[in-house]
């Protein structure tokens, strides 16, 4: 085993056990090579430092309560998010009915024009809101 | 011990609250570790973990069983973590001169120094090595959480250790 192989095997050894044969060859190389021995010490020191440095903080005790509150807030907001759309649809239908009853042209023409205008207005509003949210 | 199949059964019978409770019991810590490995800040990681489970709660009725529950959940979690990371990177990007070199002072603890060195690695290597130690050195868990093959995770760990060793030596 040369130094290059020994260093590769040393790096591999931290991610899983080496085969007994690789272990034996690596150990005999390390016993004879000060440079690889030094690399081994460096990797050991690094492993210890990483183990000490990477410590998981705990989730706070209020995690579940806060999550529950967030879910409830969001469920309410979902309903509120739909309100402007609902108001738009109700308003448009009321305006169309009003026009159908009051305007002289045939009801079907007024109905088509009213529906088309409402749909175009809604699409325009949705596009505008979308671009504002992205900004 | 709860298994993902138990959650599957609950989802099929549309018992979303029960399924959600089981998922929280099983995955909240793991998702938190993922968020922490990406964001490196416990407070933000907890906030993002809440967002991930809120998203999961909304998406539960849409789960179709094509991917395993853990794969599905980790995909949602990774996407949320990375978008939070991107948002914060844009918001908090420090001036180049503020990044500096890691501390050379002998009195500075090794712990601080190794954290500084970690920050100089590519993001995926940082996440792989952080998760490796947070997940009790299980390559299998790290691979599942990051959605990568085990061989790829090993290769990231390998490169990360080599780079860190070089930095420590220099």
Convert the pLDDT of each residue in B66-102 to its tens digit. Answer: 888 888 888 889 888 888 887 776 666 554 444 444 4
User: Which pLDDT does position A78 carry in this prediction?
Assistant: 67
CB contact under 8 A, B165 and A43: yes
Residue B53: pLDDT over 90 = yes
Residue B108: pLDDT over 60 = no
User: Which pLDDT does position B1 carry in this prediction?
Assistant: 53
Residue A122: other Cβ atoms inside 10 A: 14
Question: Any idea which residue has 């967030």 for tokens?
Answer: A70
Q: Which of A5-19, B2-16, B19-33, B93-107 has the lowest mean pLDDT?
A: B93-107
Interface test with A, best of B23, B38, B49, B164 (most A CBs within 10 A): B164
User: Which pLDDT does position B105 carry in this prediction?
Assistant: 44
User: Which pLDDT does position B109 carry in this prediction?
Assistant: 54
Give the H or E element holding residue A20.
Answer: helix A20-32
Q: Which of A71-75, B31-35, B147-151 has the lowest mean pLDDT?
A: A71-75
Residue B17: pLDDT over 50 = yes
User: Which pLDDT does position B112 carry in this prediction?
Assistant: 61
Is pLDDT larger for residue B14 or for residue A37? A37
Span B12-18, average pLDDT: 82
Which among B25, B48, B24 is positioned nearest to B36, based on CA atoms?
Answer: B48
pLDDT digits (tens, 9 = 90+) for A91-108: 888 888 888 888 887 888
**d(CA B64, nearest CA chain A) in Å:** 22
A90 touches chain B (CB under 8 A): no
CB contact under 8 A, A14 and B28: no
Residue B37: other Cβ atoms inside 10 A: 26
User: Which pLDDT does position B98 carry in this prediction?
Assistant: 46
Chain A neighbors of B54, CB-CB under 8 A: 67, 70-71, 74
Interface test with B, best of A3, A6, A11, A44 (most B CBs within 10 A): A11
- Nearest C-alpha in B relative to A15: B154
User: Which pLDDT does position B131 carry in this prediction?
Assistant: 87
User: Which pLDDT does position B50 carry in this prediction?
Assistant: 93
Residue A36: pLDDT over 80 = yes
Residue B3: pLDDT over 70 = no
Span A99-122, average pLDDT: 86
Q: How far, in Å, CA of B37 to CA of B6, rounded?
A: 29
CB contact under 8 A, A59 and B114: no
Q: Which of A93-97, B33-37, B101-105 has the lowest mean pLDDT?
A: B101-105
φ, ψ dihedrals at B80, nearest 5°: -65, -45
Q: How far, in Å, CA of A14 to CA of A44, rounded?
A: 9
Span A35-41, average pLDDT: 89
A15 touches chain B (CB under 8 A): yes
CB contact under 8 A, B154 and A39: no
Which among A2, A3, A13 is positioned nearest to A43, based on CA atoms?
Answer: A13
User: How does residue B37 score in pLDDT terms, banded at 50, 70 and 90?
Assistant: confident
Percent of chain B predicted with pLDDT > 70? 84
- State the average pLDDT for chain A: 85
Residues whose CB is less than 8 angstroms from the CB of residue B130 and which lie 6 or more positions away in sequence, other chains included = A54, B36, B37, B118
Residue B83, token pair as written in the block: 């978008």
Q: Which of A1-15, B34-48, B82-96, B125-139 has the lowest mean pLDDT?
A: B82-96
User: Which pLDDT does position B116 carry in this prediction?
Assistant: 83
A69 touches chain B (CB under 8 A): no
User: Which pLDDT does position B49 carry in this prediction?
Assistant: 93
Residues whose CB is less than 8 angstroms from the CB of residue B155 and which lie 6 or more positions away in sequence, other chains included = none
Q: Which of A74-83, A111-120, B54-63, B119-128 has the lowest mean pLDDT?
A: A74-83
- Whole-structure pTM value: 0.68
Instruction: Give B88-94's long-range contacts (Cβ < 8 A, gap of 24+).
Output: B88/B39, B88/B44
DSSP B64-108: -SSS-HHHHHHHHHHHHHHHHHHHHHHHHPPPHHHH-PPP--TTS
Residue B103: pLDDT over 70 = no
User: Angle, to 10 degrees, between the axis of helix A34-53 and the axis of helix B123-134?
Assistant: 80
Structural domains for chain B: 1-93 (1.10.1740.10), 100-170 (1.10.10.10)
Q: How far, in Å, CA of B161 to CA of B167, rounded?
A: 10
């Amino acid at each position: 085993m040369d130094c290059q192989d020994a260093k590769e095997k040393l790096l591999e050894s931290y991610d899983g056990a080496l085969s007994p044969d690789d272990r034996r060859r690596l150990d005999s190389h390390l016993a004879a090579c000060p440079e690889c021995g030094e690399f081994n010490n460096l990797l050991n020191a690094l492993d210890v430092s990483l183990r000490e440095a990477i410590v998981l903080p705990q989730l706070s005790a209020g995690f579940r309560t806060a999550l529950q509150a967030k879910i409830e807030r969001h469920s309410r907001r979902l309903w509120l998010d739909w309100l402007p759309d609902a108001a738009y649809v109700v308003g448009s239908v009321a305006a169309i009915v009003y026009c159908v009853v009051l305007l002289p042209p045939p009801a079907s023409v007024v109905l088509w024009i009213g529906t088309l205008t409402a749909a175009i207005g809604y699409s325009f509003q949705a596009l505008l809101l979308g671009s504002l949210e992205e900004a | 011990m709860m298994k993902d199949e138990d959650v599957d059964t609950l989802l099929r019978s549309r018992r979303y609250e029960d399924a959600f409770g089981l998922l929280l019991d099983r995955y909240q810590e793991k998702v938190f570790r993922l968020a922490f490995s990406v964001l490196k800040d416990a407070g933000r990681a907890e906030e993002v973990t809440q967002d991930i489970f809120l998203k999961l709660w909304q998406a539960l009725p849409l789960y179709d069983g094509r991917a395993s529950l853990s794969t599905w959940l980790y995909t949602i979690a990774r996407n949320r973590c990375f978008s939070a990371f991107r948002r914060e990177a844009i918001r908090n990007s420090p001036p180049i001169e503020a990044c500096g070199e890691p501390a050379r002072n002998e009195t500075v603890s090794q712990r601080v120094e190794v954290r500084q060195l970690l920050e100089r690695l590519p993001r995926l290597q940082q996440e792989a090595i952080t998760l490796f130690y947070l997940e009790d050195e299980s390559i299998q868990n790290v691979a599942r959480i990051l959605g990568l093959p085990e061989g790829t995770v090993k290769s990231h760990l390998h490169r990360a250790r080599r780079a860190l060793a070089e930095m420590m030596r220099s």
